[in-house]
Structure 1
Amino acid sequence: MRVMVLVKATEDSERGLPSPEDMSVMLEAMGKYNQELIEAGVMLSGDGLQPSSAGKRVAFDGPSRAVIDGPFAETRELVAGYWIWEVKDMDEAVAWVKRCPNPMPGPSEIEIRPFYEMVDFGEMTPEAKQIHDEIREKLAGH
């Protein structure tokens, strides 16, 4: 089962990088944790994200598109970082998250969301299956 593990943003993360001392301690703790994830064969990828002030959103309404510059309101709804993990089930993902160092200087939350797999969508037309098989092959060779 693949899951996306989302580190939720906080007011601290939206302000940008912490002090060099705090950053050093956090990077060391997270580095050790990531090593454990990799050695266990759980971590497929992951990274931190810059504050929403560096981002943009594109809003869709039918054929029209509108670009919205960050920062974005509702900090608790934003994502500050992520991992993609391969786990046997949600219980294993929760157990790994419980072992995670606090990713923020203060209170924080981590959300775990399973990915849809192609089988979840049921039968596909041969054309749709071919397109998605080709995409997977290209990504695997990337």
Structure 2
Amino acid sequence: MRFMIVVKASKDSEAGAMPPQEMLTAMADYHEELAKAGVLLDGNGLHPTSKGWRITWSGGKKKIVDGPFTETKELIAGYTIIQVKTREEAIEWANRFPNPQIDDGEIEIRQMYELEDFGESEAIERFREIGVATSK
């Protein structure tokens, strides 16, 4: 089972401020533990939305919208992807995640779909062949 730990953005992360060294150290320690346990698949911070864009579709038309985006509670500052055997194990690892903010922080944990969840089809087999959405 794969889970994504989503780090919510803050005013500081959206301003492009780098985290303090203590936070970077705590994050490095945590991710090192994940790696040693063999459950870490990926993890990274994201640049602020001022350096990003969104693509929206409406009425069959596509539109590119440049950042920044104003509602920080809906934005992502980073992520970690883990692969564990059970939901309970994911909860245990997520509970050890360091506070990603100086004061009030928030992370969200979501289980990722596996290709098997979609049933068998030609399209799913194509995803499998290119290695998308597969476990270790």
Fold-level similarity (TM above 0.5) = yes
CA root-mean-square deviation:
2.0
Match in the other structure for 1:38: 35
Runs of 4+ in 1 over 6 A off after TM superposition: none
Alignment of 1:1-142 (within 5 A): 1-18=1-18, 23-124=20-121, 127-136=122-131
Paired AA for residue 77 in structure 1: E
The answer to whether the Cα contact below 8 Å between 2:30 and 2:97 also exists between their aligned partners in 1 is yes
Aligned length: 134
Q: Work out the CA distance in 1 between the residues paired with 2:59 and 2:119.
A: 27
Paired AA for residue 128 in structure 2: D
Deviations 1:70-119 (A, max 9, x none): 11122111100001110112221121121121111121111111111122
**Other structure's SS at 2:27 match:** helix
Q: Work out the CA distance in 2 between the residues paired with 1:35 and 1:73.
A: 33
Structure 1 residues not aligned, in runs of 5+: none
Largest Rg, 1 or 2: 1
Q: Work out the CA distance in 2 between the residues paired with 1:57 and 1:129.
A: 26
Structure 2 residues not aligned, in runs of 5+: none
The answer to whether the Cα contact below 8 Å between 2:6 and 2:109 also exists between their aligned partners in 1 is yes
The answer to whether the Cα contact below 8 Å between 2:115 and 2:128 also exists between their aligned partners in 1 is no
Compared with structure 1, are the counterparts of its residues 122 and 106 closer, same or farther at alpha carbon in structure 2 (3 Å cutoff)?
same
Deviations 1:21-62 (A, max 9, x none): x62221111111110000011110010001111110011125
**Other structure's SS at 1:71 match:** coil
